[in-house]
Amino acid sequence: MTPGYQMVALDAATGIPVSEFGNNGIVDLKQNADQQIDLVTGEIGLHSTPIVAKDVVIVGAAHRTGGNPRSRENVKGYVRGFDVRTGERLWVFHTIPLPGEYGNESWLNDSASYTGNTGVWAQISVDAELETVYLPVEAATGDYYGAYRPGDNLFSESLVAVDLYTGERKWHFQLVHHGIWDHDIPCAPILPDIVIDGRVRKIVAQPTKQAFLYVFDRETGEPIWPIEEKPVEIGDVPGEWYSPTQPIPTKPPAYARAKGFRKRFNRLHSAVKSSCS
């Protein structure tokens, strides 16, 4: 990958571009992206590596920090799969669903049409045997304010399992509804086989900034242990939309204290409220 969001294939022995891949060894990821991206100024790139599984190379997207976005609009961080030998695009997964696609109704007031981000900037994981790709999707524009994107906002801050060859959604779980705390998923999903109640289970375990570990059956997406939708405090920032509940795992226990997070977000909440007054 290059800073200009190009994917380059080189001969491993010589370093010479592979002429059969893309355009003389290069696939410009700002093109054929299901959206209009300025080839020079378009604000999108990637700082993690693509992942290669069987005959598919899968590429996510990264953006500038979402803490202080320039506007409510931004480039969308779609995920794409390409033929590893030719660079031909095989599929695209719309992390902000298009009209008629599953989850589009969770973006109220047509906010899906202009909201951006929701890229996968962390590493992607793949179970080659199940032919399943696990996408840890980041937050939508912006990290701390969501009045312009009311609703739960699928697939923002979600773990999404898609088919390796088609990109079709197999299952998903949204870890944060309508995120306004910068709790986007920061790392690759973990794919271990572990013994639970005397039998081996293929699981996917997703660490988070909240210090919760969300654990699912890799194939079905069923939570290994109950994840409860718990009522949460509703804020009072003018115009903001709040989810009345958030999903909280019952097991395993949090792996760090959350006190520091609460203080940080209370300060942010106060700052946003003051700026809106």
- Is residue 182 part of the annotated active site? The answer reads yes
- How far is 180 from 107, CA to CA, in rounded Å? 15
- How far is 101 from 244, CA to CA, in rounded Å? 24
Q: Which two tokens stand for residue 93?
A: 């997964």
- Amino acid, single-letter form, for residue 68: N
Distance of CA 30 to the CA centre of its chain: 18
The residue assigned the tokens 């007054």 is 277
- How far is 130 from 84, CA to CA, in rounded Å? 19
Q: Does residue 275 sit in helix, strand or coil?
A: helix
Q: Among the options 127, 143, 152, 182, which is catalytic?
A: 182
- How far is 24 from 139, CA to CA, in rounded Å? 35
Active site members: 182
